[in-house]
Chains A and B, each alone.
Chain A
Amino acid sequence: MQIASRAKEYDVCIVGSGAGGGMAAKVLAEGGAEVVLLEAGQWWDAAKDGAMMAWAYDSPRRGAGSRRKPFGEFDGCIGGWDLEGEPYTTAEGQRFLWWRARMLGGRTNHWGRISLRFGPHDFKGRSRDGLGDDWPIGYDDMKPYYDKLDELVGIFGTNEGLENEPDGVFLPPPAPRAYERLVKNASDKLKITCIPSRLSILTRPHNGRPACHYCGQCGRGCKTRSNFSSPSVLLPPALATGKLKIVTGAMAREVLTNDEGRATAVSYVDTATGKTEEVRAKIIVLAASACETARLLLNSKSTRHPDGLANSSGAVGRYLTDTTGTSVQGHIPALEGLPPYNDDGAGGMHVYMPWWLDNRKLDFPRGYHIEPWGGRDMPGYGFMSGIHKLTGGGYGKKLKDDYRRLYGSIVGFSGRGEMLPNRDCYCEIDPNVVDKYGIPVLRFHWKWTDGELNQARHMNETAADVIEAMGGKVVGKLPGKDKDYGLKLGGEIIHEAGTTRMGTSPRTSVLNEWCQAHDCKNLFVADSAPFVSNAHKNMTWTILALSMRTSEHIVEERRKGNL
Chain B
Amino acid sequence: MTNEIGRRSALRLIGTAPIAVAFTLGANEAAEAAEKAATAVKAAAAGKPYVPKFFNPQEWKTVRILVDMIIPKDERSGSATDAGVPEFMDYLMNDPTDTDLQRERRQTAMRGGLAWINSVSEKRFGHGFAEATEAERTAILDEIAFSKDEQEDEAEMREPRDLRVMVKHGPSFFNSFRDLTASGFWSSKMGVEDLGYMGNRFVAEWKGAPPEVLAKLGLPSD
A64 to B95, CA, bound (A): 10
A389 to B149, CA, bound (A): 6
* A68 in complex: contacting residue of B12, B27, B198, B214, CB < 8 Å: B27
- Which A residues between 356 and 404 are near B, CB-CB below 8 angstroms? 371, 373, 376-390, 392-397, 399-400, 403-404
B38 to chain A, nearest CB (A): 9
Closest 4 A-B residue pairs measured CB to CB?
Answer: A71-B6, A340-B196, A382-B10, A175-B208
Question: Which residues in A have their C-beta under 8 angstroms from that of B30?
Answer: 51, 59, 73
Q: Hey, which chain B residues are within 8 Å of A385, CB to CB?
A: 10-14, 20, 179, 182-183
Residues of chain A within 8 A of B192, CB atoms compared: 55-57, 378-379
Q: A341-B198, A385-B20 are in contact. Are A175 and B178 (CB under 8 A)?
A: no
On whether the beta carbons of A379 and B197 are closer than 8 Å, the reply is yes
Cβ of B40 under 8 Å from chain A: yes
Q: Are B5 and A216 in contact (CB under 8 A)?
A: yes
Cα distance A386–B24 when bound, in Å? Answer: 13
Q: Does B116 contact A (CB under 8 A)?
A: no
From A60, A174, A341, give the contact of B210 (CB < 8 A).
A341
Q: Are B187 and A62 in contact (CB under 8 A)?
A: yes
Contact B213 A339 (CB under 8 A): yes
Residues of chain B within 8 A (CB-CB) of A219 are: 3, 5-6, 9
Residues of chain A contacted by B52 (CB below 8 angstroms): none
Beyond A108-B1, A395-B178, 9 additional pairs, beta carbon < 8 A: A56-B187, A62-B184, A339-B212, A342-B201, A384-B182, A385-B182, A386-B14, A389-B13, A403-B195
Say yes or no for A125: interface residue by CB 8 A criterion. Answer: no
**CB within 8 Å: A-B pair count:** 311
Q: Is the CB of A67 within 8 A of B1?
A: no
A480 CB within 8 Å of chain B: no
B199 lies within 8 A of A60 (CB): no
Contact surface of A with B, Cβ cutoff 8 Å: 19, 51, 53, 55-73, 75, 77, 107-108, 110-112, 114, 174-178, 181-182, 185, 203, 212-219, 323, 325, 327, 329, 334-335, 338-349, 371, 373, 376-390, 392-397, 399-400, 403-404, 407, 410, 412, 414, 416, 475-476, 493-495, 538-540
Encode contact with A along B26-37: 1 for CB under 8 Å, 0 otherwise. 111010011011
- Asked whether, in the complex, the Cβ of A396 is within 8 Å of the Cβ of B213, the reply is no
- Would you list 11 pairs from A and B whose C-beta atoms are within 8 A, ordered by A residue? A57-B187, A57-B189, A59-B37, A178-B209, A338-B213, A373-B4, A384-B179, A385-B12, A385-B13, A385-B14, A538-B2
B residues contacting the other copy or chain, number (CB 8 A): 84
Q: Classify the interface of chain A: helix, strand, loop or mixed.
A: loop
Q: Are A174 and B187 in contact (CB under 8 A)?
A: no
List A contacts of B11 (CB < 8 A).
377, 382-385, 410
Residue in B184, B199, B214 whose CB lies within 8 Å of A216: B199
The distance in angstroms between the C-alpha atoms of A216 and B70, with both chains bound, is: 30
Does A214 lie within 8 Å of B206, measured CB to CB? Answer: yes
Q: Is B100 an interface residue (CB 8 A)?
A: no
